[in-house]
């Protein structure tokens, strides 16, 4: 929906895993993405990362992901499906003690992240607090487990099929420390939520990213924290999201 004269293509090629495009949107565009760079993957052209030059927040689900650290026990946070590092950037900037491990299967995505989205500078700035790994995110792990996990795994424009299997979520749950939680971008798919609810019975909450029934949503696995305390621990712009969670109701 952005006029073509306001969009500049910085990169466009096919990798082993993706159709990769990096676009820059003019600040003059009358659009929410004005002044941003966006990473598009897959044939449908889904946005997998957003970066603004003069602000950290994205007005998208990456901001929701950044509400997770205050409700976690001490320990590292895993991002499965790192993309160009949008969620990691916010978390590392907002939480001075956060340590992030990111997994990205496509080395070409990490290359464009370093060239166009400032990942190289992030790695220098945050040193041992940001560790980026190549390879299959579902084979990720930490010696003593993760305090939290952020899951954003898509292929061909859809949540990967493994996440529609409760066994996958049970395996991921074993990677959490005691008291750990995870958030996932579940797209608009009910099957993913059903699988999560089997692995986390009675402990799934959902935040819809718009009023449209078929639009994307974020799921929180683990007991919903006390909202007032959660909001108090969040930076001002992020407090808004704490009130939007609703218990998952399996409609099947």
DSSP code string of 82-94: -TTSHHHHHHHHH
Residue 212 has a pLDDT of 46
Residue 1 has a pLDDT of 73
Average pLDDT over residues 135-150: 90
List the one residue out of 226, 168, 221, 213 whose CA is nearest residue 187: 213
Give a yes or no: residue 27 inside a domain: yes
41 plus 136 within the same structural domain: no
Length of the chain: 252
114 plus 223 within the same structural domain: yes
| Distance between CA atoms of residues 75 and 156, nearest Å | 33
Q: What's the Cα-to-Cα distance from 85 to each of 28, 101, 177, 237, rounded to whole Å? A: 25, 11, 23, 20
Its pTM surpasses 0.85: yes
182 plus 100 within the same structural domain: yes
133: tokens are 């790994």
Which residue range forms the structural domain that includes residue 41? Answer: 4-52
Asked whether the predicted pLDDT for residue 213 surpasses 80, the reply is no
Pick from 13, 29, 52: which residue ends a domain? Answer: 52
Binning pLDDT at 50, 70 and 90, where does residue 65 land? very high
81 plus 190 within the same structural domain: yes
Q: Strands 46-52, 36-41: parallel, antiparallel or unpaired by DSSP?
A: antiparallel
79 plus 177 within the same structural domain: yes
% of the chain surpassing 90 pLDDT: 81
Asked whether the predicted pLDDT for residue 63 surpasses 90, the reply is yes
Give a yes or no: residue 91 inside a domain: yes
| CATH number of the domain bearing residue 237 | 3.40.50.150
**Can you state the percent helix, strand and coil of the chain, rounding each to 5?**
30, 30, 40
Average pLDDT over residues 52-76: 95
215 plus 193 within the same structural domain: yes
44: tokens are 């449908």
Q: Which strand (E) or helix (H) includes residue 28?
A: none
CB count within 10 Å of CB 118 equals 17
Residue 42 has a pLDDT of 84
Give a yes or no: residue 207 inside a domain: yes
Give a yes or no: residue 251 inside a domain: no
76 plus 110 within the same structural domain: yes
Give a yes or no: residue 252 inside a domain: no
67 plus 27 within the same structural domain: no
Residue 211 has a pLDDT of 55
Residue with the two structure tokens 């990111």: 102
14 plus 121 within the same structural domain: no
- Listed in sequence order, the DSSP H helices in 127-165 are none
128 plus 185 within the same structural domain: yes
Binning pLDDT at 50, 70 and 90, where does residue 141 land? confident
Q: Structurally, how many domains does the chain consist of? A: 2
Give a yes or no: residue 24 inside a domain: yes
128 plus 45 within the same structural domain: no
125: tokens are 């700035």
Which of the 8 DSSP states describes residue 117? S
Residue 214 has a pLDDT of 47
Q: What's the Cα-to-Cα distance from 188 to each of 124, 208, 209, rounded to whole Å? A: 36, 9, 10
Residue 157 has a pLDDT of 84
Q: What's the whole-number average pLDDT of the chain?
A: 92
Residue 184 pairs with which residues in a beta bridge?
A: 151, 219
34 plus 71 within the same structural domain: no
Residue 156 has a pLDDT of 85
Binning pLDDT at 50, 70 and 90, where does residue 163 land? very high
Instruction: For residue 183, report the phi and psi dihedrals to the nearest 5 degrees.
Output: -120, 145
């Amino acid at each position: 929906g952005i006029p073509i004269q306001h969009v500049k293509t910085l990169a466009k090629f096919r990798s082993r895993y993706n159709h990769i495009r990096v676009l820059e949107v003019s600040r003059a565009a009358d659009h929410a993405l004005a002044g941003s760079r966006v990473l598009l993957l897959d044939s449908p052209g889904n946005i997998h990362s957003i970066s603004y030059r003069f602000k950290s927040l994205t007005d998208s689900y990456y901001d929701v992901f950044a509400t997770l650290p205050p409700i976690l026990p001490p320990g590292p946070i895993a991002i499965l499906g790192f993309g160009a590092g949008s969620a990691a950037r916010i978390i590392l900037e907002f939480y001075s003690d956060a340590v992030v491990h990111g997994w990205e299967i496509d080395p070409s995505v990490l290359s464009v992240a370093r060239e166009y989205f400032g990942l190289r500078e992030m790695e220098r700035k945050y040193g041992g607090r940001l560790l980026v790994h190549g390879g299959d995110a579902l084979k990720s792990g930490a010696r003593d487990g993760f305090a939290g996990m952020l899951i954003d795994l898509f292929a061909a424009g859809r949540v990967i099929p493994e996440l529609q299997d409760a066994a996958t979520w049970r395996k991921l749950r074993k990677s959490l420390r005691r008291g750990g939680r995870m958030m996932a971008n579940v797209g608009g798919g009910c099957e993913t939520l059903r699988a999560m609810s089997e692995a986390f019975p009675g402990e799934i909450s959902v935040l819809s990213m718009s009023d449209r029934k078929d639009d994307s949503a974020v799921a929180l696995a683990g007991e919903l924290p006390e909202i007032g305390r959660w909001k108090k621990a969040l930076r001002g712009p992020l407090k808004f999201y704490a009130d939007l969670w609703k218990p998952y109701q399996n409609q099947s």
